[in-house]
């Protein structure tokens, strides 16, 4: 195996024996094989679309689901990934026949267009189709940057799809990008494709924002309870709000409470979910605290997406884990997809919860959030006045992800040491590094404004564009906003590419720069976009706040 797609890549270079995320060598290879055949699908589907206007909802869904399932720590179920490879070959061959029938010309030089094998041959083939086959490190770097952006886009597209919102232009782009990177493109062409990925990233996040707010209302200022009640509970993690909705509806009146974990916290901010009396609040912290949080929770846990940490052999909660959607874990129970427009069936996890003890209280109090674009616009006058009067000197976007590495303490210290006339704008699980600190407020405006999940970074961009308009500026970079973003996995990659597409410059990315950026590609990003890493808290505050 060789994988360097996330921030925790071994030694800052890449995982080669076993993933730091817990992925075994054979699973990592099988994911490479899945991408290999999926790219073959994309070569055919793109040719069919471009030459005959062919569109297959089944193919579109299969492609984004497959990409999503290979994201860092979403799926640890090798059997499920292997079945997906079988299905991929079947779909690709169906498209091949379709292309033949329709007289569509397809360049099938890429081996993923033609390779066939029986399941017992998959492992051997899987070990030969990894990303190191691209020997030019700069070309590999750009191709992987695009791939990771598209994977993040796939995750967001899937959430929107689940709510009935689709954009075929996004599907067409994802498939074209995956097809294009099988060709011999030069660095300039790949840089152009990278920027285009950012453009579609914005479009996908806008679509998901519309899907979420149309379905569940605009997030509003909310005090989220951190304590527990005395009933058994289900802990729901990940990002999928459709799963959240159906779980709340099906648990109502059963005596089972529902709590959010990690990135599901922002579900608490949506009007449509607040009406449920058995929706208690948030339990625990960001994803990587799950080994402790799940022990004391006592009840079953539902993973709707990543970030999964495979449980230790002696974990008491091993048999309390359920996955659904693109998430998977060997040994966990998987709740099947919706069929024929019917909701998923969560009865097994609900019955399981009834047999469990209530959660142990690990903290009390509340945290405040719900500052997505509409809520901030409602406060616009107050915010603009505070900026004009100098009460707010600067906004610091500290969106992104949390992670296990010790050096992420930087973000807690950074938040603590920021001058009191600054406001943090956040989204994603990065917020757990500072959202429980007593950072106070500025004239009633909390100093940490949480817009929601990582995809709600889109909301932060919308807020920035609105402020640019209010202050009548020509350039988004003239705003008193600095960007100090923490990244972990591929959704953060699409957020980053989206911000670059929107023209945001001088983003600081930490705790380390991606291992997949070759020195030359990193140089392009530094020279054209002013991207930089982080140094020390004091130095960076001086640099970003002045």
Span near ligand SF4 by CB under 6 A; candidates 6-14, 328-336, 419-427, 529-537: 6-14
| Minimal distance, residue 30 CB to ligand SF4, in Å | 13
Q: Which does 202 bind (CB under 5 to 8 A by kind): ligand SF4, ligand FSO, none?
A: none
Span near ligand FSO by CB under 6 A; candidates 126-134, 442-450, 462-470, 483-491: 483-491
| Minimal distance, residue 515 CB to ligand SF4, in Å | 7
Told to check if 6 binds ligand SF4 by CB under 6 A, we report yes
Told to check if 241 binds ligand SF4 by CB under 6 A, we report no
Told to check if 5 binds ligand SF4 by CB under 6 A, we report yes
| Minimal distance, residue 391 CB to ligand SF4, in Å | 42
Taking alpha carbons only, the member of 319, 299, 303, 300 closest to residue 311 is 319
DSSP states of 335-364:
EPPP-TTPPP--HHHHHHHHTSPPPPP---
Site string for ligand SF4, 36-75 (x = CB under 6 A): ------------------------------------x---
Q: Which does 306 bind (CB under 5 to 8 A by kind): ligand FSO, ligand SF4, none?
A: ligand FSO
| Minimal distance, residue 204 CB to ligand SF4, in Å | 21
How do 508-510 and 481-486 pair as beta strands? Answer: parallel
| Minimal distance, residue 428 CB to ligand FSO, in Å | 4
| Minimal distance, residue 241 CB to ligand FSO, in Å | 13
User: Cβ atoms within 10 A of the Cβ of 62, count?
Assistant: 20
Among 19, 281, 325, 359, binds ligand SF4 (CB under 6 A): 19
Told to check if 35 binds ligand SF4 by CB under 6 A, we report no
φ, ψ of residue 322 to 5 degrees: the values are -125, 145
Q: Which does 6 bind (CB under 5 to 8 A by kind): ligand SF4, ligand FSO, none?
A: ligand SF4
Told to check if 148 binds ligand FSO by CB under 6 A, we report no
Q: Which two tokens stand for residue 452?
A: 């929601």
DSSP states of 375-387:
HHHHTHHHHHHHH
| Runs of H (alpha helix) within 57-118 | 57-69, 78-102
Residue among 175 and 426 whose Cβ is closer to ligand FSO: 426
How do 508-510 and 445-446 pair as beta strands? Answer: unpaired
State the Cα–Cα distance between residues 530 and 519, nearest whole angstrom. 15
Span near ligand SF4 by CB under 6 A; candidates 2-10, 370-378, 402-410, 433-441: 2-10
| Runs of H (alpha helix) within 226-354 | 241-251, 271-274, 290-297, 347-354
Told to check if 9 binds ligand FSO by CB under 6 A, we report no
How do 257-260 and 233-237 pair as beta strands? Answer: parallel
φ, ψ of residue 7 to 5 degrees: the values are -70, -20
| Minimal distance, residue 305 CB to ligand FSO, in Å | 7
Told to check if 34 binds ligand FSO by CB under 6 A, we report no
- Answer yes or no: are the C-beta atoms of 122 and 30 closer than 8 Å: yes
Told to check if 401 binds ligand FSO by CB under 6 A, we report yes
Q: Convert 418-453 into a string of H (helix), E (strand) and C (coil).
A: CCCCEEEEECCHHHHHCCCCCCCEECCEECEEECCC
**What is the Cβ-side half-sphere exposure of residue 486, based on CA atoms within 13 angstroms?**
28
Span near ligand SF4 by CB under 6 A; candidates 7-15, 263-271, 299-307, 419-427: 7-15
Our CA dihedral for 487, 134, 305, 199, rounded to 10 degrees, sits at 60
Q: Which does 454 bind (CB under 5 to 8 A by kind): ligand SF4, ligand FSO, none?
A: ligand FSO
How do 75-76 and 366-369 pair as beta strands? Answer: unpaired
Site string for ligand FSO, 487-516 (x = CB under 6 A): -xx-xx------------------------
Span near ligand SF4 by CB under 6 A; candidates 3-11, 57-65, 104-112, 341-349: 3-11
Taking alpha carbons only, the member of 277, 281, 291, 278 closest to residue 260 is 281
Instruction: Give residues 262-281 in contact with ligand FSO (rule: CB under 6 A).
Output: 262-263
Give the nearest residue (CB) to ligand SF4.
19
State the Cα–Cα distance between residues 508 and 57, nearest whole angstrom. 39
Residue 25 burial by CB count (10 A; 0-12/13-18/19+): exposed, middle or buried?
middle
Told to check if 27 binds ligand SF4 by CB under 6 A, we report no
Q: Which two tokens stand for residue 476?
A: 């988004």
Q: Is the peptide bond before 511 cis (omega within 30 degrees of 0)?
A: yes
Among 23, 92, 242, 344, binds ligand SF4 (CB under 6 A): 23
User: Cβ atoms within 10 A of the Cβ of 20, count?
Assistant: 18
Among 15, 235, 392, 494, binds ligand SF4 (CB under 6 A): 15
Q: Which two tokens stand for residue 28?
A: 């990592």
Told to check if 204 binds ligand FSO by CB under 6 A, we report no
Instruction: Give residues 412-471 in contact with ligand FSO (rule: CB under 6 A).
Output: 428-429, 453-454
| Minimal distance, residue 402 CB to ligand FSO, in Å | 6
| Minimal distance, residue 285 CB to ligand SF4, in Å | 20
Number of residues engaging ligand SF4 in binding (CB under 6 A)? 13
Q: Which residues would be at the binding site for ligand SF4 (CB under 6 A)?
A: 3-6, 8-9, 15, 19-21, 23, 28, 72
């Amino acid at each position: 195996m060789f994988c360097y797609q996330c921030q925790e890549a071994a030694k800052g270079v890449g995982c080669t024996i076993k993933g730091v995320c817990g992925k075994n060598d054979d699973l990592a290879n099988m994911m490479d094989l899945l991408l290999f055949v999926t790219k073959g699908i994309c070569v055919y589907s793109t040719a069919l679309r471009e030459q005959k206007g062919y569109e297959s909802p089944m193919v579109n869904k299969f492609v984004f689901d497959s990409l999503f399932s290979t994201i860092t720590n979403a799926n640890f179920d090798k059997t499920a990934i292997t079945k997906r490879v079988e299905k991929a070959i079947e779909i690709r061959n169906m498209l091949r026949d379709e292309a033949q029938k329709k007289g569509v010309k397809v360049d099938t030089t890429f081996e993923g267009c033609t390779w066939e094998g029986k399941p017992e041959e998959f492992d051997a083939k899987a070990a030969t189709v990894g990303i190191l086959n691209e020997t030019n490190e700069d070309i590999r770097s750009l191709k992987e940057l695009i791939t990771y952006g598209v994977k993040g886009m796939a995750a967001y597209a899937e959430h929107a799809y689940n709510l009935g919102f689709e954009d075929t232009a996004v599907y067409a782009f994802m498939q074209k990008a995956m097809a294009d990177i099988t060709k011999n493109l030069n660095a300039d062409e790949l840089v152009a494709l990278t920027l285009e990925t950012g453009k579609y990233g914005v479009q996908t996040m806008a679509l998901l924002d519309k899907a979420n707010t149309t379905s569940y209302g605009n997030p509003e200022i909310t005090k989220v309870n951190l304590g527990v009640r005395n009933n058994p509970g289900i802990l729901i993690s990940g990002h999928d709000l459709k799963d959240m909705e159906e779980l709340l509806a099906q648990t109502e009146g059963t005596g089972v409470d529902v709590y959010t974990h990690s990135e599901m916290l922002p579900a608490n901010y949506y009007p449509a979910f607040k009406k449920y009396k058995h929706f208690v609040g948030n339990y625990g912290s960001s994803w990587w605290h799950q080994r402790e949080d799940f022990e004391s929770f006592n009840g079953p846990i539902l993973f709707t997406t990543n970030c999964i940490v495979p449980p230790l052999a002696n974990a008491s909660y091993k048999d309390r884990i359920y996955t659904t959607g693109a998430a998977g874990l060997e040994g966990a129970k998987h709740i099947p997809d919706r069929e024929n427009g019917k909701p998923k069936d969560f009865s097994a996890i609900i019955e399981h919860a009834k047999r469990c003890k209530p959660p142990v209280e690990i903290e009390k109090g509340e945290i405040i959030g719900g500052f997505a674009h509409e809520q901030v616009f409602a406060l616009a006058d107050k915010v603009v006045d505070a900026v004009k009067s100098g009460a707010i000197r600067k906004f610091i976007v500290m969106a992104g992800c949390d992670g296990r590495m010790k050096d992420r303490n930087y973000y807690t210290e950074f938040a603590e040491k920021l001058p009191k006339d600054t406001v943090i704008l956040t989204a994603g699980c990065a917020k757990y590094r500072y959202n429980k600190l007593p950072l106070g407020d500025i004239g009633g405006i909390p100093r940490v404004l949480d817009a929601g999940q990582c995809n709600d970074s889109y909301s932060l961009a919308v807020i920035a564009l609105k402020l640019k308009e209010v202050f009548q500026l020509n350039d988004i970079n003239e705003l008193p906003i600095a960007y100090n973003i923490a990244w972990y996995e591929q959704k953060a990659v699409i957020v980053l590419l989206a911000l670059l597409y929107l023209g945001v410059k001088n983003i600081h990315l930490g705790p380390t720069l991606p291992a997949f950026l070759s020195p030359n590609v990193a140089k392009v990003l530094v020279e054209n976009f002013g991207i930089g890493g982080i140094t020390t808290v004091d130095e960076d505050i001086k640099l970003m706040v002045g």
